[in-house]
Amino acid sequence: MRLSVFASGSKGNSLAVQGGSTTIVVDLGLSCTELESRMRQCGVEPDSIDAILFTHDHSDHCAALDVFHRHHPQVPLLATDGTAGAIAMRTKVEDGWTAFETGGEFEIGDIAVESFSVPHDAADPVGYLFSCGGESLFVATDFGTVTEPVRQAFRRANCAVLESNHDPVMLTQSGRPPSLKQRIHGRSGHLSNDDAADLLRAVRPPNLSALFLAHLSGECNEPHLAVRTAREAADAAGMRDLRIEPLSQNCVFSFEF
C-alpha cells in the first residue's frame, strides 16, 4: 500500500491511500488549486481517484470540495449519513454522495474500508482502517478521547496516521480564549501528544512499523515534542524499531508499506 499525505494540521487535511489499482482520498481540506498541485506532486491524478471519503464536516477537512466537485463531478463522495448531510449543507454540493452507516464496512476496488466512530464535536465523525493485500492503514484525527473502537482498529494497523494535536502545557499557556482551550482539551476535542503516547503504550500494535503524527497544532505543539513523547512511549513499550515522524501542513509526504 502507499500513503500520500497532502496536508495535515488545523489549516487543512487531505491524504491518499493506494492499494492494488485503487486510489482513495480522505478529506479535501485545502484550496482546490493547492490540493490538486500537491496530489500531482505525489503522482495522484485527480481524475483517477476512485472515491473521496470524509472523516467529518469541519472546513479543514472539506474546504476544496465545492470547486473539486465542479472539476471532477464523476469522483464518488462517501461519508456517514450525518457527515454527508452536514457537508452538503456547508458546501452546497448535494449530488454525488453515497452515505454509509457509522461503523460500516465496504470495499472500494481493491481496498477494504472499515469505519469507526470517534468522539469529536462534529455531526457524525469517523476514523478509518484501510486494508489491502494483508496490510492495514489506520487513519484517525480529530477526536478528544480514545474509545474501544479506536483501540481495536489501531491494534490491527501496519501503518498509522494518528492525531497528536497539542502539548497540554503549551495549550494551557497559550493566549487562546478559555472556551477554545476547553474545547480542545475536552472529550470531543483533539488528542494531545500524551494521549497519543498513552494509546501507543496501551495497545502496542504488534505489526505496526510506522506511526505518522497528524493534525499538529501550529501554536500549541512542536514536531520535536510530539515525536519525543511518542518515541518515549514506543521505547518503553518495546517498540524500538517503530518509525515515528510528524506530518506537516505545508510539505507533501509519501510512504510505501
| Nearer of residues 63 and 199 to Zn ion, judged by Cβ | 63
CA atoms 177, 179, 181, 184: torsion sign: negative
| Nearer of residues 1 and 26 to Zn ion, judged by Cβ | 26
142 scored as a contact of Zn ion (CB under 5 A):
yes
User: Which of 2, 39, 54, 58: binder of Zn ion (CB under 5 A)?
Assistant: 58
CA distance 103 to 9: 25
CB of 50 to Zn ion, least distance (A): 24
Q: How many residues bind Zn ion (CB under 5 A)?
A: 3
57 scored as a contact of Zn ion (CB under 5 A):
no
CB of 60 to Zn ion, least distance (A): 4
Applying CB under 5 A, which part among 18-26, 39-47, 103-111, 134-142 lies near Zn ion? 134-142
Q: What are phi and psi of 150, to 5 degrees?
A: -65, -45
| Nearer of residues 65 and 239 to Zn ion, judged by Cβ | 65
Give the number of other CB atoms < 10 A from CB of residue 218: 10
User: Which of 27, 36, 57, 60: binder of Zn ion (CB under 5 A)?
Assistant: 60
| Nearer of residues 36 and 142 to Zn ion, judged by Cβ | 142
114 scored as a contact of Zn ion (CB under 5 A):
no
Between the alpha carbon of residue 109 and those of residues 133, 162, 172, the distances in Å are 12, 25, 45
Take residue 163 and report the three cell numbers written for it. 492525531
Applying CB under 5 A, which part among 53-61, 83-91, 218-226, 246-254 lies near Zn ion? 53-61
Q: What is the dihedral of CA 199, 202, 205, 211, to 10 degrees?
A: 30
Half-sphere exposure of 76 (CA within 13 A, CB side): 11
167 scored as a contact of Zn ion (CB under 5 A):
no
CA distance 104 to 207: 24
What x/- string results for residues 194 through 233 when contact with Zn ion is judged by CB under 5 A?
----------------------------------------
CA distance 231 to 19: 28
Point out which residues bind Zn ion (CB under 5 A).
58, 60, 142
